[in-house]
A and B are shown apart, each in its own frame.
Chain A
Amino acid sequence: MRYFLFIFGLVFLFTSCRKKTENPTPVTINKHGFFVVNEGNYTWANSSLSFYDETNDKFYQDIFYDANAVPLGDVAYSMTIYKDKGYIVVNNSGIIYMVNMSDMKFLGKITGFCSPRQMLIVNDSLAYVSDLYDTRITIINLLTNTISGYVPVGHTTEKMILLSGKIFVVCWSYENLIFSLDALTGNKLDSAITGKQPNSIVADKNGNLWVLCDGGFSGSQYGQENASLWCLNSTNLSEIKHFIFPNIQSSPTHLCINGSYDTLFFINNDIFKIAISEDSLPVMPAIAAIERNFYGLTINPITGDIIVTNAKNYVANGEVFIYNINGLLKKTFTTGVNPGWVEILKN
């Protein structure tokens, strides 16, 4: 009996002497560089935020956890920087975290979303949030960090841009629509039909809108068509021209524009670029994927660098590549899982 009690005593002693988790070290955010929002996997809650410090040429993993000792959440999808604050939209957690841009420390949160995608900030007090499932655009009061209302648009929404006092919104999931809102009142102005599943939108130097449609996917209940690229007049959303991708298997994403707003970039397995004046789609890629799974794309408006991410098999840690304007590889870093959104510091 004594031996038995001794053994149990030892076990109980062990249970009360466990080592605590080490405290993470916060990082200081330099003025030049970019963030990579790593989505992680749906319901695995393994999102993270990486940062490239261009000044010191250092890449930091998971700076949100390092600053706050709490995980970023489930499917972090996008990030918006406004003055000295960063807003990270965590899609499946239904939350937007507000952080201090100097050290990534938690400042506050906006809660109560269903499936938020992108936050577009109009001014110090007003922002809009698109949603993958909610058929309303959510209006945010940035002074109180609360939901102040909704714009019932009747469609789920994806990417948004602000141009000349209007917000242009594409409706992606099982939709084929673009519409515009008055940025201050949220009143709906115009709408136009595009190709199936418009996933991204940019504005060029002429004030025209470019919309990229992936065409859906094989086996989808919504159906599939050839992907397309549309150029629309931002005044009334009338069509200027559009291009059809010849291969039904093409599923282009991540339409971007360079700093001079005259050249478009997108991912279609490889990276392609096309001048806004062109009359046909490019055939040769600007950067070939070569067994990489390009997943996110951004053009640095100042340097012209092409920043592209690789999601590999969607479960492993990804990569980010920095190419110069001529498509020559400058840097490669390892990111978190599914690096989707790249947000550049524009100081």
Chain B
Amino acid sequence: MNNIFHIFIKGLMFFLCIFLSFFANCQTDTVHLKEVEVKERYQFFPGINKSYCDTLHIIQSVSANLGEILSYEPGLTVKRFGDGSLATVSFRGTDPSHTKVEWNGMPVNSIMNGQVDFSLIPACPTDRINLLYGANSLAYKSGALGGMISLNSANTENLKHGLELRQETGSFGLNNSYLGLVLGKKMLKSFTRLSYHKSDNDFEYQNTAILPVQKMRQKNAAFERLDLMQELLLQNGFHEFSVHFWQNSAFRYIPPLMTNVFSVEHNETQNDQATRVLAAWNYRHNCYSSFIKQGFTFNSLNYHLNHYSGSYPVTFINSESKEKQYFASAGTRYCLSNNVQLNASLDYSFQKAEIFEEMLGQGYNVSLNVLDGMADIEVFPYRWFNITALTRIKKQQNNEPAFIPAVFFSFRPVQSVVIKTALSHNVNFPALNDLYFIPGGNTELKTEKGLQSDLNVEYNYRFGRKSLKNDFKTELDFFYTDIINWILWQPTQFGFWTPQNIRQVISKGLQTKSSFRINLQKTKIFLQATYTYNLATAIDDGYITEQLPYLPKHSGNLSAKINLSDFEFFAEEIYTDTRITSYYGSYSHNLESTWLTNISASYLIKLMNLSFTAGFRLNNLFNKNYQMVLWRPMPNRNGSIVITIKI
């Protein structure tokens, strides 16, 4: 597989060198990268609180996947089983299946388990990553009882033709290559991205889960991932046509738990393939806009497990799952008057899932139709006040239609302060594994229901000379979510697990994010801090869990970036509070609180149209032993060298 990747990359590089020589004379700029978070206020949904995941951390961590980047955002809990291993994201104490993800408007969540493995999504600095917490997600999609992550390609106007090449080499066989190429002029643009990520991931760690306690090297943990993204954007007057293509291939070994390293030799692997194609037409003119989208997704996952005793094969599991999804969406927006706007959309998807396990000869094969319609009315009685009433109706084959109402208020008492509040009653349908998995699937499952409420206060302050753009921003969110009929997989007396609607979760807390930017003559300082306080209690058929496992009560991070002429220094401190790892106070070990420190530095050289950046990054500077998931070790101090060339 390595050789295929290398030949492919070399071939592509050769092709690009030849091809670019034809364009060399007309290149005037570089690929535009956003530096910090911005707020898209009142662009489409005035009352909706839509946050942008900032690119600060993406730029600093070249090899990161989206899961790592989202771990810096407040209110999100990222559960990573190790570098390259499964990474799930939960909003505010909800389940990973309550986090809905869209790519340019097309759903990304697995139709089988309802989740997204964020370790498979590369973090690209040109993408716009929107976060819609709680009820705010209903502007785009239903079912996001926690929230929604919207991945969007760069705007046409932000794409300036040029080439960017990055190479990162680091500890434990880390090798990361990135190529970004923008071609074309005003009307038609092509954006090509190729990202290759590989690591042996064979770090040394202290195994405190076996006797005698000893230093060990992580085994069976290598992974590699290749992503190819191609986008064609055509803008003609008020019309915009776009075609998006994303091919993702990942192969990884799955390491054993720290407690299981002395079992027989085993070979556990997972091979993921995903192909996504989307075509979209957008029309915008004055206060009228409409869009049509159509897309297709094909995912496959092959899981393989072999146990060997010497050369004697003991167990063999080989399961293959395939997901196919056709997606179509249309929507329109119309201004009834200066103070009233209407908005409506309809999404349709046809979903088909197949899973088959070779050894037991069992699996399921089902298909499903889903309709999700939305209508809202936005009223602006005053310039400083807005109210939006929204309703969705979702119908999933074999289930009763669900009615989903929401209301949003936006209030600006003074110029620098915006207060937003949202309230909704959301619904999430069971995923196909919940219904049909063999053994254990439960076709009697009901929909999960959630009451979501959110209050957001945002304060912006600009100071100093206007040209320097010094500012201070802070926002504070209070949230309360009550979910009933939460689908919980529980063991049975026959050894397999089965899902039931028996959990109720009440999650509440606050989150805050503040940034401080000071621009002096040749010095720029950017500070950012986030903090989340989250309490989430679960009640399962009378069994009470005071705080959900793996959800820290307190978490936050502090980042600082200093630019001195062409030097850049970056440091970040990440804090995660103690986490329990079991329900109902049952016996299990806790994960201790952790402070992690990462630093990086780089130097920029500019020559004509060429910019060259060389830098290094050190992760886990103080060499902490830590785990994100119980008995899954994480690397100690590690580093990498990064070289970037932009033309």
Query: A93-B262, A94-B260 are contacts. A44–B630 as well, Cβ < 8 Å?
Result: yes
User: A46 to B582, Cβ gap below 8 A?
Assistant: yes
Contacts known (A43-B257, A336-B587); A313 close to B541, Cβ less than 8 A:
yes
Set of chain B residues within 8 Å of A133, measured between Cβ atoms: 307, 314-315
Known: A8-B571, A74-B259, A94-B260. A337 touches B586 (CB 8 A): yes
Among listed A27-35, A200-208, A217-225, A233-241, interface-contacting one = A217-225
Residue from A38, A69, A112 whose CB has the most chain B CB atoms within 10 Å: A112
A45 partner, pick from B257, B558, B586, beta carbons under 8 A: B257
- Could you tell me the distance between the alpha carbons of A4 and B525 in the complex, rounded to whole angstroms? 10
0/1 per residue, A44-77, Cβ < 8 Å to B?
1110100000000000011000001111011000
A182 beta carbon closer than 8 Å to chain B? no
Check if A134 is an interface residue, CB within 8 A of chain B. Answer: yes
Cα A271 to Cα B520 in complex, Å, equals 80
Which residues of B are found within 8 Å of A46, using beta-carbon distances?
581-582, 586-589
Q: Across the two chains, which residue of chain B brings its CB closest to A38?
A: B587
| Residues of chain B lying within 8 A (CB to CB) of residue A1 | 525
Q: Could you tell me the distance in whole angstroms from the C-beta of B218 to the nearest C-beta in chain A?
A: 16
- A11 contacts B573, C-beta separation under 8 Å: yes
Beta-carbon contacts of B135-152 to A below 8 Å, as 1s and 0s? 000000000000000000
User: Given A70-B211, A70-B213, A133-B307 in contact, is the A112-B585 Cβ separation under 8 Å?
Assistant: no
**Chain B residues with Cβ under 8 A from A71's Cβ?**
209, 259, 589, 631
**Do A7 and B558 touch (CB < 8 A)?**
yes
| B460-468, B490-498, B600-608: which lies at the interface | B490-498
Size bracket, chain B contacts: 35 or more
Given known pairs A45-B630, A70-B213, the reply for A61 and B525 (CB within 8 Å) is no
Partner-binding segment picked from A257-265, A297-305, A314-322: A314-322
Judged by a CB distance under 8 angstroms, whether A41 is at the interface is yes
Query: B246 contacts the other chain (Cβ, under 8 Å)?
Result: no
A104 to chain B, nearest CB (A): 12
A8 contacts B573, C-beta separation under 8 Å: yes
What chain B residues lie within 8 Å of A114 (beta carbons)? 263-264, 307, 309, 314-315
The answer to the question of A333 belonging to the interface, with a C-beta cut-off of 8 Å to chain B, is no
Q: Does B360 contact A (CB under 8 A)?
A: yes
- B403 at the binding interface (Cβ < 8 Å): no
Across the interface, B490 reaches (CB within 8 A) one of A4, A14, A314, namely A314
CA distance A217 to B581 in the complex (A): 31
Q: Which residue of B lies closest to A94 (CB)?
A: B263
Please measure, in the bound complex, the distance between the C-alpha atom of A69 and the C-alpha atom of B213, giving whole angstroms.
Answer: 9
Beta-carbon contact of B493 and A44 below 8 Å:
no
Determine if B212 is an interface residue (Cβ-Cβ < 8 Å): yes
- Are A95's CB and B587's CB within 8 A? no
| Contact string against B for A residues 114-136, beta-carbon threshold 8 Å, 1 for contact and 0 otherwise | 11000000000000000001111
Q: Which of A193-230 contact B (CB under 8 A)?
A: 217, 219-221
Taking a contact as CB atoms closer than 8 A, the residue among A8, A61, A317 that contacts B585 in the complex is A317
Cβ of B362 under 8 Å from chain A: yes
Question: Residues of A contacting B560 with CB < 8 Å?
Answer: 4, 8
Residues of A within 8 A of B558 (CB): 7-8, 11
Cβ B260 vs Cβ A113 within 8 A: no
CB distance from B561 to the nearest CB of A (A): 11
Q: Which residues of A contact B618 (CB under 8 A)?
A: none
Asked if B586 contacts A315 (CB within 8 A), the reply is yes
A11 to B209, CA, bound (A): 29
Select from chain B the residue with minimum beta-carbon distance to A312: B543
A62 to B588, alpha carbons, bound, how many Å? 10
Check A111 against B262 for contact (C-beta < 8 Å).
Answer: yes
CB distance from B239 to the nearest CB of A (A): 49
Tell me which residues across on chain B come within 8 A of A94, comparing CB atoms.
260, 262-264
A95 touches B263 (CB 8 A): yes
A221, B543: Cβ atoms under 8 Å? no
Is B586 touching A317 in the complex (CB atoms < 8 A)? yes
Q: Please tell me if the beta carbons of B211 and A251 are within 8 angstroms of each other in the complex.
A: no
Q: How far is the CA of A266 from the CA of B598 in the complex (A)?
A: 58
Give complex CA distance A88, B571 in Å. 47
A323 located at the interface, meaning its Cβ lies under 8 Å from any Cβ of chain B in the complex = no
State whether the Cβ of A21 lies closer than 8 Å to any Cβ in chain B.
Answer: yes
Chain B residue contacts of A62, Cβ below 8 A: 587
| Interface residues in B200-214 (C-beta closer than 8 Å to A) | 208-213
- B507 touches A (CB below 8 Å): no
Return the chain B residue nearest A90 by Cβ.
Answer: B259
Q: Which residues of B contact A15 (CB under 8 A)?
A: 573, 595, 597, 622, 624
State the CA gap A15–B621 with chains docked (Å).
Answer: 11
| B527 CB within 8 Å of chain A | yes
Given A112-B264, A220-B439, the answer on whether A317 and B541 have CB atoms closer than 8 Å is: no
Give the shortest distance, in Å, between A345 (CB) and chain B (any CB). Answer: 22
Interface pairs A-B: 10 shortest CB-CB? A94-B263, A314-B491, A111-B262, A15-B595, A336-B587, A46-B588, A217-B494, A316-B584, A73-B259, A45-B259
Interchain residue pairs with CB less than 8 A apart (10): A11-B595, A12-B622, A40-B588, A46-B581, A71-B589, A74-B260, A95-B262, A95-B263, A114-B264, A314-B492
